[in-house]
A = this chain, B = another copy of it.
Amino acid sequence: MQARAATLTDVAKEAGVSLATASRALNGSDRVVRAELHARVIEAANRLGYTPNAQAQSMARGSTDLVGLMVNDIADPYFSTIAAGLAAAAEQQGLLVMLCSTGGQPEQELELLAALRRQRGRAIVLAGSRIDDREHLRELSDQMEPFIAAGGRVAAISEPKLSVDTVVVDNKSAARDLAVRIGELGYRRPAILTGPEKLLVSRNRRDGFVEGWSGEEPIVVADEFSRDGGFNAMQRLADSGAEVDCVFAINDLMAMGAMAACRDRGLDVPGDLAVAGFDDISTLRDVTPALTTVRLPLTEMGRMALEMVLGEPAAKPRRRKVRGEIIVRESTPPR
């Protein structure tokens, strides 16, 4: 058992050719190697179980086959779906994806961005809501700037808070449309279950809904941006005794939590209370009552982000808007 992997030099020696020839035969772009030698090299490589060392190749070539992907939480279906889209696209291009899950913690995000930078990936995609924290945004930019100056590319899938190419979800207008639709369905007193104030998604989806709502100002209850957050928020809402006929949860996970809370209290959805979510998580498309929500082309968004970040660099950061599609289902029947 050899304690180290076979190198090109080993292969060259084994095949009785020069390093250069071996390189050309195995990984070279131009096929300027005589067929016979070529075969000999290939054979030697197989015999030795040789695999090129990508690190060394990157160094020599000055470019890698890596792209970084940073998400808040890969276990969240929102992000895993985006990741799937991006991974599929990357694989088509022969690129490898380095995955970082930040847990939504700003320090983590910075640290992982640094790790990604170190790898000298071709590009980095930042998926996930921006936190509206001036200081943090500046630190992020400080990291990205030298990376970009050195030819690295960065794109985001989020609110357009960073000055990089970004796939922006038009949260606000989609939420606005949803509000209008809810109104048309005959609801009169909606409540909004939102996430932390500092998350831009939370704010935009909430604000959009409020904007689109023409009746009296909706009640707003904030909690975590998760299933449990939805559950708790719903409980507090119910405890408050507020009279509402409909609840808009800022995302599907919160909506699920809210529905669970309703069940616990014997509130019938949609009989006693209608519920709407946002994202249209595919795993949740079969829940009952079927959830009214805003469909986002998550897989597509991952693909788009990779496309942007790999395509021709633009002088100014580009924004590719993604529109949400309102999907009305049983959880908000006309009343």
Residues of A with Cβ closer than 8 Å to B? Answer: 1-6, 48-59, 64-66, 69, 73-77, 80-81, 83-84, 87-88, 91, 96-101, 103, 108, 112, 114-120, 145-147, 149-152, 227, 253, 256-257, 259-260, 263, 281-284, 286-288, 299
The answer to whether B114 and A51 touch across the interface, beta carbons within 8 angstroms, is yes
The answer to whether B54 and A286 touch across the interface, beta carbons within 8 angstroms, is no
Q: Which residue of B lies closest to A80 (CB)?
A: B80
A49 / chain B contacts, CB cutoff of 8 Å: 145-146, 149
The answer to whether B84 and A101 touch across the interface, beta carbons within 8 angstroms, is yes
A111 to chain B, nearest CB (A): 9
A71 to chain B, nearest CB (A): 9
Subset of 19 A-B contacts with CB under 8 Å: A1-B149, A3-B150, A5-B146, A48-B146, A50-B146, A51-B117, A51-B118, A53-B118, A55-B64, A65-B115, A74-B74, A74-B80, A75-B83, A76-B80, A80-B80, A87-B101, A97-B98, A227-B282, A227-B286
A108→B90 CA distance, assembly (Å) = 13
A283 / chain B contacts, CB cutoff of 8 Å: 77, 227, 253, 256, 281, 283-284
Which of A6, A73, A149 gathers most chain B CB within 10 Å?
A149
The answer to whether B99 and A54 touch across the interface, beta carbons within 8 angstroms, is no
Q: Which residue of B lies closest to A284 (CB)?
A: B283
| Contact A88 B115, CB 8 Å, known A49-B146, A75-B80, A146-B5 | no
The answer to whether A5 and B150 touch across the interface, beta carbons within 8 angstroms, is yes
